């Protein structure tokens, strides 16, 4: 392909910039030009593409966010929107596209592919809910951000002998809560994939911990499992201690990507170019067992990536 397009779409994730850098430099290395579209599919519909040179992606590997900008685009969800996008690609001389984003973005990519346009996807979302890859870009950074908060909260929780509820993002998936909770030694991790039947299933281990002398407790709640506010109120009724709540929100999406995310983004971005130039569209790249791989879009987003419940069980045992 003489010229390919690249865009970042959906919720931003740390490492998106590193992925755009890898796409751009790998494509140029392979003899193709690159057009970067601003604000995802929205920017395509508005004709906001610009040529990316080697220097356009210099100095961005360590930046959070995405310098191209991102958006969730209603118009593109319709078939008419996708047809309009293909017309814009033709106008721009763009023969194939690399989409960096989460499940909604990959769904959009499938729609373009169904209309005959070559597209390859790169999974980037802090939620880690894309199949066909062990990790999505941004997840590791988000986990480390939450971990940092857990450690800081533990200091004050311990000083006041309080119980803290920390609500994490993740939409309908519990991966961020699970990994950050395990790494942070949380006393309980509440995830949508395994909601306890009764409040006592959550509070009994906390009470047992206090009885054996624990000074404080940290409960990590994934937003898809319950509202942190509800959990905090219900726990306070049962444990007879002051319960405080921290809802972490969008801070989890910001910050410089970790080394892991930069390496993941570099490998996946480059592999996406290889696939697109080999005319293997319709696929989402991934890292499986530390090897780059790819699966069909439909497999990548059709069902949320299953949470590893063995890790959840382990976290419960280690929190005793
Ligand atoms: O998908 C990434 C994510 O950060 C989810 O964890 C969260 O539920 C959602 O996006 C928040 O979306 P918005 O930025 O539109 O509020």
CATH of the domain at 241: 3.40.50.460
Res 215: pLDDT: 87
Domain that holds residue 177: 141-253
Is there a single domain that holds both residue 110 and residue 62? yes
At 51, is the pLDDT very low, low, confident or very high (cuts 50, 70, 90)? Answer: very high
pLDDT digits (tens, 9 = 90+) for 128-137: 999 999 999 9
| 3-class SS letters over 248-261 | CHHHHHCCCCCHHH
- pLDDT over threshold 90, residue 304: no
Identify whether 312 is part of a domain: no
Q: Choosing from 127, 129, 140, 187, which is the catalytic residue?
A: 127
In this prediction the pTM is 0.97
Atom of ligand 1 nearest to the CA of 252: 4
Contact 168 CB / ligand 1 (< 6 Å): no
Contact 253 CB / ligand 1 (< 6 Å): yes
In CATH, what number is assigned to the domain containing residue 100? 3.40.50.450
Is there a single domain that holds both residue 196 and residue 56? no
| Interval between CA 241 and ligand 1 midpoint (Å) | 32
Domain count, the chain: 2
Is there a single domain that holds both residue 101 and residue 188? no
Is there a single domain that holds both residue 216 and residue 249? yes
Is there a single domain that holds both residue 157 and residue 79? no
Distance CA 158, CA 241 (A): 13
Strands (DSSP E) found in the chain: 3-9, 33-37, 49-52, 96-101, 119-123, 163-168, 188-190, 217-222, 243-247, 283-288, 291-296
Determine which helix (DSSP H) or strand (DSSP E) holds 71, and give its type and residue range: none
Residue 127 annotated among the catalytic residues of the structure: yes
pLDDT digits (tens, 9 = 90+) for 236-281: 999 989 999 999 999 999 999 999 999 999 999 999 999 999 999 9
Is there a single domain that holds both residue 198 and residue 244? yes
Is there a single domain that holds both residue 194 and residue 175? yes
Identify whether 307 is part of a domain: no
Res 108: pLDDT: 97
Mean pLDDT, the chain, integer: 97
Identify whether 306 is part of a domain: no
Is there a single domain that holds both residue 130 and residue 266? yes
Is there a single domain that holds both residue 61 and residue 119? yes
Contact 170 CB / ligand 1 (< 6 Å): yes
Contact 171 CB / ligand 1 (< 6 Å): yes
In DSSP terms, which residues pair with 219 in a beta bridge?
A: 165, 188
At 6, is the pLDDT very low, low, confident or very high (cuts 50, 70, 90)? Answer: very high
Identify whether 116 is part of a domain: yes
Identify whether 58 is part of a domain: yes
| Interval between CA 209 and ligand 1 midpoint (Å) | 33
| Interval between CA 283 and ligand 1 midpoint (Å) | 24
Res 163: pLDDT: 97
| Interval between CA 169 and ligand 1 midpoint (Å) | 7
Res 262: pLDDT: 98
Is there a single domain that holds both residue 223 and residue 290? no
Identify whether 311 is part of a domain: no
Atom of ligand 1 nearest to the CA of 72: 15
Identify whether 316 is part of a domain: no
Identify whether 317 is part of a domain: no
Is there a single domain that holds both residue 156 and residue 239? yes
Burial class (CB in 10 A: 0-12, 13-18, 19+), 123: buried
Is there a single domain that holds both residue 101 and residue 222? no
Tokens 């309009």 belong to: 84
Atom of ligand 1 nearest to the CA of 171: 8
209 CB-side CA count, 13 A: 25
- pLDDT over threshold 90, residue 187: yes
Determine contact, residues 185/314, Cβ cutoff 8 Å.
Answer: no
Tell me the mean pLDDT in the region 284-310: 95
């Amino acid at each position: 392909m003489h010229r390919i397009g690249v865009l970042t779409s959906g919720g931003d994730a740390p490492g998106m910039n590193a992925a755009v850098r890898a796409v751009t430099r790998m494509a140029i290395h392979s003899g193709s030009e690159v057009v970067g579209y601003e604000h995802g599919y929205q920017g395509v519909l508005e004709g906001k593409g610009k040529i990316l040179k080697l220097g356009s992606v210099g100095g961005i590997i360590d930046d959070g966010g995405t310098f191209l900008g991102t958006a969730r685009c209603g118009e593109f969800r319709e078939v008419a929107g996708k047809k309009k996008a293909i017309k814009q690609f033709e106008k721009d001389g763009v023969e194939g596209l690399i989409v960096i984003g989460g499940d909604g973005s990959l769904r959009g990519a499938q729609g373009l592919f169904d209309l005959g346009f070559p597209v390859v996807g790169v999974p980037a979302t802090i939620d880690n809910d894309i199949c066909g890859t062990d990790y999505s870009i941004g997840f590791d950074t988000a986990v480390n951000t939450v971990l940092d908060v857990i450690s800081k909260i533990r200091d004050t929780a311990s000083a006041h002998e309080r119980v803290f509820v920390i609500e994490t993002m993740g939409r309908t998936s519990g991966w961020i809560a699970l990994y950050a909770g395990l790494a942070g030694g949380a006393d309980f991790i509440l995830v949508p994939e395994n909601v306890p039947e009764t409040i006592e299933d959550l509070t009994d281990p906390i009470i047992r911990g206090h009885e054996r002398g624990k000074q404080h407790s940290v409960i990590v709640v994934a937003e898809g499992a319950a509202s942190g506010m509800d959990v905090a109120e219900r726990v306070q009724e049962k444990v007879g201690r002051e319960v405080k709540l921290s809802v972490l929100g969008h801070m989890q999406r910001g910050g410089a990507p970790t080394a892991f995310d930069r390496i993941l983004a570099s490998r996946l971005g480059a592999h996406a170019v290889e696939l697109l130039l080999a005319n293997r569209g319709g696929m989402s790249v991934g890292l499986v067992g530390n090897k780059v791989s790819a699966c069909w879009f439909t497999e990548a987003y059709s069902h949320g990536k299953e949470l590893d419940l063995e890790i959840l069980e382990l976290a419960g045992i280690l929190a005793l």
